[in-house]
Amino acid sequence: MTKLLEGTRILAIEQFAAGPYGSMFLAALGAEVIKIENGATAGDSSRHVGPHLLGENDSQYFQTFNFNKKSVALDIKSPDGRAALIRLVKTSDALLNNLRGDQPEKLGIDYRTLREANPAIVCLHVSAYGRDNSRASWPGYDYLMQAETGLMSLTGEPDGPPARLGSSVVDYMAGLTGALGLLSGIIRARKTGEGCDIDTSLFDVALHQLSYPAVWYLNSGEIPQRLSRSAHPSLAPVQTFRTKDGWLFVMCMKDSFWEKLLEVLDAHELRHDPRFSTQAARRENRMALTAVLDDVFIGRATAEWLAILGGRVPVAPVYDMAHAFENPFVRETGMVRTVAHPRNPTFRALANPIRVDGKRLDQVVCSPLANDNECCLVAGAPK
């Protein structure tokens, strides 16, 4: 397998999800990612997240975010640990962390401090709220960002309470945003010999995910509201419909898909109904359109509708986790693979979604805590 980032060494002082998720992609692409963990506290806190543990100092949660990484145990606050860290910095391209915003400077892992050891080092900081404001010292997590930035106000049914997203996507997006910034910094450093600080925060990333509804509000004062059936705020029909045995998501994002839906359903009378003749009209009469299409979709099972509409009109079944992984298309894509683990040789995990030349990226479990001290710390272990 071609390792696109081979020869790149990245130090990672990270825990839980945001930092580890981003650095995991870098490791999958061939970078040498060395987790710097505190052995006195048993390493990355996620090593101990249950209920599915994998022996001492390891868990399924931890492995989810740490494939392909090495582990070094260092107390970077101690003189010996600090000296070892500096030796690693001298042979590394970047150091990333996802600590509170006030910690990098205190710990001496910002560019201003580390440039003496390596002028080309790139220092990535993925914090909760940033490093240069009144909340720099605050702890913060994904769900809090969803709450404060308004994402929760947009999620769920109109008559229900605000709801968080079903996955910690703010963490994951922050990690990937940071990884993009880190790689950009490395590219420049290799040209100029000058590193830098790169910053992103969970709060900024969460706010940025508001995307076009935020632009609508900022320019027109429109406050988006939750819509029933997970409907799109401006396009219709783009929502869920109940079938004979479940739910189907239909996305007529363009007039051409609406026309194709009418053709497949043999519902040509709707084409001439003034309530549904244009996208704007369908949006204004969304409830009436929902009632009409509900009567149609309830007549067949979800699988039947997929056979009729799949590939012609953008549709998808609404699955739970079990049904999602029973989906034959998941097997076809190869997104589930077996990654041998010392405690479970048939450990199953999600493949990295990036392919290189059509091939999935290599995947091995993260090293046990402190497993790589000798190979990485001896004389700085030149990369």
CATH number at residue 349: 3.40.50.10540
In a domain, 326, yes or no: no
On whether both 136 and 236 belong to a single domain, the answer is: no
In a domain, 220, yes or no: no
Q: Return d(Cα 291, Cα 249) in angstroms, integer.
A: 15
On whether both 198 and 252 belong to a single domain, the answer is: no
Q: Return d(Cα 128, Cα 213) in angstroms, integer.
A: 23
Contacts of 251 (CB under 8 A, 6+ apart): 232, 238, 257, 314, 315
On whether both 142 and 287 belong to a single domain, the answer is: no
Asked if 121 contacts 109 with a C-beta cutoff of 8 angstroms, the reply is: no
Tens of pLDDT, residues 44-86: 999 999 999 999 999 999 999 999 999 999 999 999 999 999 9
Say what the pTM is.
0.96
In a domain, 175, yes or no: yes
| Averaged pLDDT of the chain | 97
Q: Is residue 382 pLDDT above 90, yes or no? A: no
Tens of pLDDT, residues 77-113: 999 999 999 999 999 999 999 999 999 999 999 999 9
Under DSSP, the state recorded for 325 is H
pLDDT, position 149: 99
Which spans in the chain are helix H?
Answer: 18-28, 60-64, 79-90, 103-107, 111-114, 142-149, 169-192, 202-208, 211-220, 255-265, 279-284, 286-297, 302-309, 321-326, 328-333, 373-377
pLDDT, position 378: 79
In a domain, 223, yes or no: no
In a domain, 150, yes or no: yes
pLDDT, position 344: 96
3-class secondary-structure state, position 247: strand
Q: Cβ atoms within 10 A of the Cβ of 315, count?
A: 21
Domain hosting 303: range is: 228-242+247-317
Average pLDDT over residues 347-366: 97
Nearest to 374 by CA among 69, 15, 84, 165: 84
Q: Return d(Cα 381, Cα 9) in angstroms, integer.
A: 11
What element of type H or E holds 58?
A: none
pLDDT, position 380: 52
Total domains in the chain come to 2
On whether both 98 and 190 belong to a single domain, the answer is: yes
Q: Is residue 140 pLDDT above 80, yes or no? A: yes
Nearest to 88 by CA among 104, 103, 101, 70: 70
Tens of pLDDT, residues 3-25: 999 999 999 999 999 999 999 99
**Confidence band (pLDDT; 50, 70, 90) for 119?**
very high
Nearest to 301 by CA among 218, 244, 225: 244
Tens of pLDDT, residues 232-268: 999 999 999 999 999 999 999 999 999 999 999 999 8
Rg of the chain over all Cα atoms, to the nearest angstrom: 25
Q: Where are the beta strands (DSSP E) in 26-173?
A: 32-37, 70-73, 94-97, 122-127
Asked if 197 contacts 114 with a C-beta cutoff of 8 angstroms, the reply is: no
Q: What's the CATH code of the domain at 272?
A: 3.30.1540.10
